[in-house]
Amino acid sequence: MEATERFVRGKGRYVGDIELPGTLHLAIIRSKYARARLLRVEGGISGRDLSAVIPDVGEGARGESWKIKQPVFATGQVNYLGQPVAAVYADNKYLAEDLMDSVDVSYEPMQPVLDEQEAMTAEPIHPGLNSNVATDQFIGKDFEEKDAEVVLDDAFKIGRIATDPIETRGILVNYDGSRLNVWVSTQAMFSIRNGLCATLGLPITSVRVMQADTGGAFGSKSAMYPEYAIAAFVSMKTRRPVKWLESRKEHLTASRPGRGVSGSMKLFAKRDGTVIGLKGEIIVNGGAYLDGLARFSPMFIGMQLTGPYAIRNGYIRAISVVTNTPPLGPYRGAGRPEAAFFRERMMDLLADELKLDPAEIRIKNATDQVFTNPFGMRIIGSRQFMTEAFDSLEYYKLAREPNGRRGVGISCFVLVPALMEGESCKLKVDNGRIKAWLGGNSHGQAHEVFVRKLIGSTLDVSTGVVDVQPGDTDMITSGVGVWGSRSAIVAGYATVLASQTLKEKVVKTKGLYTPEYLLAGNYEAEVLNEKFDDPSLNSFGANLVTVDVDELGEVTVEECRSYYDVGNALNREMVKGQIAGGMAQGISSVLYEGLIFSKDGTLLTDSIASAGVPPARELPHFVTGITEHPSSLPHGAKGVGEAPTIGVPPALVRAIEKATGVRIRNIPIHPEVLIGPKK
């Protein structure tokens, strides 16, 4: 049965749905404080029983974790609200929750450091550190400022956001006496396997990870987490299956949130609107423990700051800090939306300063050829794309209409997909059918559709003979994961390469290739592609948003349109579905969402509603425009998944600014700032 049919029938197999006899249910006792000395932990299992640290795996992993490593259980000191302190288990979750009261924890609260700017000067939060600054690097090259006729500076802040998939995290572990069999809701089964092995000191061969149906992820389900190690530990200790399902309240502090960045920018330009350089400082709130993604994030943001424009000079200070907040993770876009927000805000400011049209100033700074920016990022010519985009979005028409309390905003950006380490695909022909496995599997992106299509077209077989298998680390040698707008590109390419390998094998044995020869035989191919160096994979996008803002500060989004170059769309309907879903997240990241802590570190947004996941009545109808300029890969794919969370926020913020006359520097927007007559 197709995945979609299983889902509409209620026959999905999410991790919470998998039942093994004798399963124990795990409940985690978590820190009540953002920062405190841990005076006593009595009862349950805790750091005394399992003393281990979380390795750096998953999206953005750099292998080495930072010198302060995240423990599975806190000992000595707790460093963020929700940090695991102890765990209990019982035959069902009601009994496990009852048992939580049997664990006695006493704390001595300390003043937490929550904000990235505050962290720069505050006392170090971790004993043994000299400062809260984890990384501090300059990228680009310092440059002379004397040619500039206009110099503008401004400072911005993007708050933390929970990823909030409707299915929270969950894991089921069954230790069978020699191996750990793991079912998990994840974007990256190999990261979970490698993470479990590293945390518990197990050989790779002793862990098998099977990806359950995964109910959304948006970044938070690629990392290794303490709860996974605890579940595995308890299963090994008790020789029983152990299940842990995250509650929503837990999700809001125990799963890694995204964003949380301050940026100050200085733009140098000529009076004709040509931008000649950009300087600035980026400070990323890495949370209590920084993995590779958090430490690299300020550089990743910095290096994209020129976006689709040919800005020749750039010099950015890129800083990451530790704070008493949950460890930073990726959230749809992961650095890309931050870069676009800072840059597009400056482009709008420049347009206002020079009294030029925002579209005109963007086209003026576009490039006609391949351009390498001061930080090494390469793009292909962007001018033609932008010209087409503003026409297609009907910007000129909408901008001319009388506005009153209405406003129109546009944005342009580059989507830099995460291609590092490539992806794997294994194909096996047997009994007239082709089985396909991927190293990174769908959690709502319908990989099976493009896999079938690419195998069908490469091997000239009906897509009906292809069976795409669920993710299982025992069935394929290696793999990476699903994030960073990568799958159509890297997994698609791996599928094409594996298909071509099958073809060659048929030619080798039969002298020539025919689909009949292929399906009559037994063939196998496995490919991991690794190297991608092609600026055409950095794709362009533009958005247009119109709003109406009433005197009470209530924002109504009227139009939300995209014009994205998605390369060769392997499945137009899925592409458009991804865009609509992403645009909803783009809007809510500006208007509704946010993880808000009080000064003492209490989470004020502790439900999915108060964290701002919007229902249908708060969102508009989306116009999902695409254009298809194939990349240079054989299947022509480019990325798309993150485009809307990159492009929508700056366009929406500009529209609100035009409607209200209030310059907006911080998102999410607090509606108070919009109240009152137009400025």
Partner 1 sequence: MKISVNVNGRNVDADVEPRKLLVDFIRDDLHLTGTHVGCDTSSCGACTVLLDGVAVKSCTMFAVQANNRNITTIEGLSKGDELHRLQSAFIEEGGLQCGYCTPGMIMTSAWLLSNNAAPTEEEIRNGISGNLCRCTGYDSIIRSIQKASSDRRGGRK
Q: Interface residues with partner 1 (CB under 8 A)? A: 2-12, 14, 16-17, 19, 92-94, 164-168, 213-216, 218, 245, 247-249, 443-446, 573-574, 577-578, 580-585, 607-609, 613-619, 621-622
Residue with tokens 């001061």: 374
Find which of ligand FES, partner 1, none residue 1 binds, CB within 5 to 8 Å per kind: none
Helices 447-459 and 487-510 pack at an angle, to 10 degrees, of 30
> CB-wise, 358 or 444, nearer to ligand FES?
444
Binding partner of 106, given partner 1, ligand FES, none, CB within 5-8 angstroms per partner class: none
Interface with ligand FES includes 1 (CB under 6 A)? no
Q: Which of 483, 538, 490 is nearest to 332 (CA)?
A: 483
Nearest-approach distance from CB 613 to ligand FES, in angstroms: 10
Q: Which is nearer to ligand FES, 577 or 620 (CB)?
A: 577
In this structure, what are the phi and psi dihedrals at residue 356, rounded to the nearest 5 degrees?
A: -110, 160
Between CA 461 and CA 231 the distance in angstroms is 44
Smallest gap from residue 496 Cβ to ligand FES (A): 28
Secondary element (H or E) of residue 563: strand 555-565
Q: Quote the least distance from Cβ 212 to ligand FES, whole Å.
A: 14
Decide: residue 53, CB within 10 A, 0-12 exposed, 13-18 middle, 19+ buried: middle
460, two tokens: 């000239």
CB of 608 to ligand FES, least distance (A): 8
Shortest Å, Cβ 166 to ligand FES: 4
The listed partner (ligand FES, partner 1, none) that binds 376, CB under 5 to 8 Å by sort, is none
- Residue 444 lies near ligand FES (rule: CB under 6 A): yes
Per CB under 6 A, the list member of 12, 43, 109, 216 interacting with ligand FES is: 216
Q: Which is nearer to ligand FES, 216 or 620 (CB)?
A: 216
The residue nearest ligand FES at its CB is 166
Q: What does the block give as tokens for 408? A: 């129109």
* Distance, CA of 656 to CA of 677 (rounded, Å): 13
* Rounded to 5°, angle at Cα 218 from 215 and 221: 70
- Residue 168 binding: pick among partner 1, ligand FES, none (C-beta 5-8 Å cut-off by kind): partner 1
Residue 387: CB minimum distance to ligand FES, A: 36
What is the closest distance, in whole angstroms, from the C-beta atom of residue 510 to partner 1 in the complex?
Answer: 39
Q: Tell me the closest approach of the beta carbon of residue 165 to ligand FES, in angstroms.
A: 7
Longest dimension (CA), the chain: 78
Beta-carbon contacts of 275 under 8 Å, excluding residues fewer than 6 positions away, are 267, 268, 269, 309, 311, 347, 350, 365
- Sorted by sequence, the CB contacts under 8 Å of residue 236 that are 6+ apart come out as 175, 180, 200
- If the CB atoms of residues 116 and 164 are measured against ligand FES, the closer one turns out to be 164
d(CA 516, CA 523): 13
Q: What mask of x and - would describe binding to ligand FES in positions 235 to 274, judged by CB under 6 A?
A: ----------------------------------------
Q: Which is nearer to ligand FES, 3 or 184 (CB)?
A: 3
Helix axes 292-303, 336-354, angle to 10 degrees: 30
Q: Which residue number, 4 or 238, has a Cβ lying nearer to partner 1?
A: 4
The phi, psi pair for 471, rounded to 5°, reads -65, 135
285 binds, among ligand FES, partner 1, none (CB under 5 to 8 A by kind): none
Name the residue nearer to partner 1 (CB basis): 400 or 621.
Answer: 621
Q: Which residues of 161-183 are buried (b: 16+ CB within 10 A; e: fewer)?
A: bbbbbebbbbbbbbbeeeebbbb
The site partner of 8 among partner 1, ligand FES, none (C-beta below 5 to 8 Å per kind) is: partner 1
Structure tokens at 443: 């959690």
613 binds, among partner 1, ligand FES, none (CB under 5 to 8 A by kind): partner 1
Q: Kindly give the interhelix angle for 336-354 and 643-660, rounded to the nearest 10 degrees.
A: 30
Sequence letter at residue 132 = N
40 binds, among ligand FES, partner 1, none (CB under 5 to 8 A by kind): none
Residues 6+ positions from 397 with CB-CB distance below 8 Å: none
Residue appearing with tokens 């479990």: 196
Task: Check binding of 577 to ligand FES (CB under 6 A).
Answer: no
Q: How far is the CB of 329 from partner 1 (least distance, A)?
A: 16
Taking the least distance from each CB to ligand FES, the nearer of 12 and 521 is: 12
Output 446 or 525, the one with its CB closest to partner 1: 446
Half-sphere exposure of 233 (CA within 13 A, CB side): 24
According to CB under 6 A, which residues from 5 to 44 bind ligand FES? none
Q: How far is the CB of 377 from partner 1 (least distance, A)?
A: 29
Sheet with 45-46: strands ordered across: 45-46, 84-90, 24-30, 242-245, 170-175, 180-184, 207-211
Least distance in Å: CB of 661 to partner 1? 29
User: 129 or 580: whose CB is closer to ligand FES?
Assistant: 580
Instruction: Give least dist CB 238 to partner 1, A.
Output: 20
517 binds, among partner 1, ligand FES, none (CB under 5 to 8 A by kind): none
Q: Counting beta carbons within 10 angstroms of the beta carbon of residue 203, is it exposed (0 to 12), middle (13 to 18) or buried (19 or more)?
A: exposed
To the nearest whole angstrom, how small is the minimum distance from the Cβ of residue 522 to ligand FES? 38
Phi, psi dihedral angles at 121 (to 5 degrees): -115, -15
CB atoms within 10 A of CB 208: 18
Would you say 574 and 449 are in contact if contact means Cβ atoms under 8 Å apart? yes
Query: Given the complex with partner 1, which of 51 and 247 has the nearer CB atom?
Result: 247
Judged by beta carbon, residue 243 or residue 665, the one nearer ligand FES is 243
Smallest distance from the beta carbon of 166 to partner 1, in angstroms? 4
Question: What does the per-residue mask of binding to ligand FES show for 163-202, with x meaning CB under 6 A?
Answer: ---x------------------------------------
What residues make contact with ligand FES under the rule CB under 6 A?
166, 216, 444
